[in-house]
Amino acid sequence: MAKFINEVSRTFSEYLLIPGFTSKDCVPNKVDLRTPLVKFKKGEEPSLHLNIPFVSVIMQSVSDDNMAIALAKNGGVSFIYGSQSIESQAAMVQRVKNHKSGFVTSRANLTPDSTLADAIALKEKTGFSTFGITNDGTSNGKLLGILTGRDYRPSRDPKDAPVKNYMTPFEKLIYANEGVTLGEANDIIWENKLNCLPVVDKNQNLLYFVFRKDYESHKENPLELSDSNKRLIVGAGINTRDYKERVPALVEAGVDVVCMDSSDGYSIWQKETLDWIRAKYGDKVKVGAGNVVDRDGFNYLAEAGADFIKIGVGGGSICITREQKGIGRGQATAVIEVAAARDEYFKKTGVYIPICSDGGLVQDYHMVLALAMGADFLMMGRYFARFDESPTRKLLIGGNYVKEYWGEGSNRARNWQRYDMGGEAALKFEEGVDSYVPYAGSLKSNLDLTLGKMKSTMCSCGVTNLKELKEEGKITLVSATSIVEGGAHDVIVKQAQK
């Protein structure tokens, strides 16, 4: 007979935070969300930290180089998905490390012989309205012109007409040469009343665009997360199969931290991967491990040498592992137990290993609950998949804009390495779904709102940093009736006027 855990497995929605004393100093602009990313010894500082407790999930539909750049500018870290070729993933990492703030690599390009139909399709797919027209249609080809949404009328102009009939040709463009500073580029934009400025090399190859609309956002990024050389911090996902080839390529590309992407972290495969990385690189390469849901799983990976440990099995919005395999645990219960194990390990060894809650977050207040329960930072997928910066298509369905979002265990991703149980290399059944999420706009505007809510909640708890939240926060279990009471009830809610 199996061992029974009689404690109910609970989710974040079953808890609320109890208000604490709010002093005059406890105001949102004084709340500090800085948190450790990797392990450190008592009395020392971690070699890597986060300015906000957010990282983006290791998924094809969420974390590419564009998301990594946007999130690092706002204080978090993306783990670029590993279910792609080693060369492609390393190139993404390198693009993040080579990124120059304010200089945007063009992600929407056409050739002069592309048609307006191609331009319209590309706009629908990417959401971009400014296209670099290059000789080969790549982001670094020879720049021959620029096409914007103001240059053609989709309703009247022939769809089969080539874009060269509508683009502004290179000889009529105002551009900047390689080596221009951001300040100089912005001066050119303002002096010439431009919306965008292309930057080219000595051979007229397109390097970057600098946009007028980005001027304010690039003036100041107080939470930007960068290394000692002022390069953005970036992470990458790895698996337990090709790590001997993938990790060296990622290190060569400049990756700051890697994380094993697995639905089951309590395995010999993760220990073998950690052993190999430690033997080759020592402690220079920072490695996250997981996922686990209990004390035993945490202690196993802690002893194996993990730099941080992820919590969660089956709680993601696109994950169906619990349905398919009957494996998992309520995310709140998992976080509480693993956090207790983390604290016990710290008390015993003097080594603090950060823990990351991965999945199960539906409402913004759940984020504060997870942190109060002991998580050091949060890994999210659905949250980030909704934004312009995610790599998926924006579609109009049923009168509403949505973005595609699929799980790594879905047939679309075919990321069998994430669900590797050893033996034959094949994904026998799905553990994720293919779906849509409501389109929400830019990362920064949504992130600012979420962080504002979190800081307000923390002030209501009477705390101004995450350490205080863990030590002084008070949490209560709520009944089903209390959950109903917490929303609008016993009234007729007015419908918004259109």
- Check: CB of residue 335 under 8 Å from CB of residue 310: no
26 among known catalytic residues: no
Q: How many CA atoms lie within 13 A of 223 on its CB side?
A: 24
Percent of the chain topping pLDDT 70:
90
Q: What is the pLDDT of residue 322?
A: 66
Measured CA to CA, the distance from residue 260 to residue 287 in angstroms comes to 7
- What's the token pair of residue 139? 């982001």
The average pLDDT across 210-230 equals 77
N residues, the chain: 498
Question: Given a cut of 80, is residue 206 above it in pLDDT?
Answer: yes
CA proximity to 297, closest of 327, 321, 320? 327
Q: Is the pLDDT of residue 37 over 70?
A: yes
Backbone angles phi, psi at 76, to 5 degrees: -115, -170
Beta carbons within 10 angstroms of residue 16's beta carbon:
17
Catalytic residue list contains 461: no
Which amino acid, residue 13? S
Judged against a pLDDT cut of 70, whether residue 219 lies above it is answered with no
The pLDDT value recorded for residue 433 is 65
For residue 428, pLDDT over 90 is answered with no
Q: Are 260 and 309 in contact (CB under 8 A)?
A: no
Q: What is the mean pLDDT of residues 387-416?
A: 82
Average pLDDT, integer, range 57-79: 96
For the chain, what percent of residues have pLDDT higher than 90? 71
Residue from 319, 356, 459, 461 carrying the catalytic annotation: 319
Closest CA to 236 of 48, 59, 79: 79
- Determine the average pLDDT of the residues in 33-42: 98
Residue 170 pLDDT greater than 70, yes or no: yes
Pick the catalytic residue: 259, 386, 418, 459? 418
**Helical axes 243-253 vs 268-281, angle rounded to 10°:** 50
* 240, 417 contact by CB (below 8 A): yes
For 397, the enclosing helix (H) or strand (E) is strand 394-397
Alpha-carbon span 422 to 478, nearest angstrom: 42
CB 40 within 8 A of CB 362: no
Strand bridging mode 377-380 / 355-358? parallel
The answer to whether residues 409 and 321 touch, using CB atoms and an 8 Å cutoff, is yes
pTM of the model: 0.79
Confidence of residue 411 (pLDDT cuts 50, 70, 90): low
Distance CA 28, CA 453 (A): 9
Distance CA 291, CA 58 (A): 12
* 3-state SS assignment for residue 437: strand
Residue 86: C-alpha distances to residues 205, 217, 252 (Å): 26, 33, 12
pLDDT of residue 352: 98
Question: CA torsion, points 295, 298, 299, 301, in degrees to nearest 10?
Answer: 160
Phi, psi for residue 397 in degrees, rounded to 5: -130, 125
Give all strands (DSSP E) within 267-330, no chain letters.
Answer: 287-292, 308-311
pLDDT at 138 over 90: yes
Type of residue numbered 57: V
Mean pLDDT of 154-177: 93
For residue 327, name the pLDDT band (cuts at 50, 70, 90): confident
Give helix 243-253 / helix 86-97 axis angle, nearest 10°: 20
User: What type of residue is 256?
Assistant: D
Contact 463, 20 (CB under 8 A): yes
The 3-state DSSP class for residue 357 equals strand
CA distance 340 to 120: 54
pLDDT band at 137 (very low <50, low <70, confident <90, very high): very high
Q: Among 214, 377, 361, 217, which Cα is nearest to 290's?
A: 377
* Contact indicator for 262, 292 with CB cutoff of 8 Å: no
DSSP state of 230: S
State the Cα–Cα distance between residues 112 and 132, nearest whole angstrom: 10
Per-residue confidence band for 269, with pLDDT thresholds at 50, 70 and 90: very high
Q: How confident is the model at residue 228 (pLDDT cuts 50, 70, 90)?
A: confident
* pLDDT for residue 247: 98
Q: DSSP strand E in 312-433: where?
A: 351-352, 355-358, 377-380, 394-397, 400-406
- Tokens 């855990």, located at residue: 5
**Does the pLDDT value for residue 292 go beyond 90?**
yes
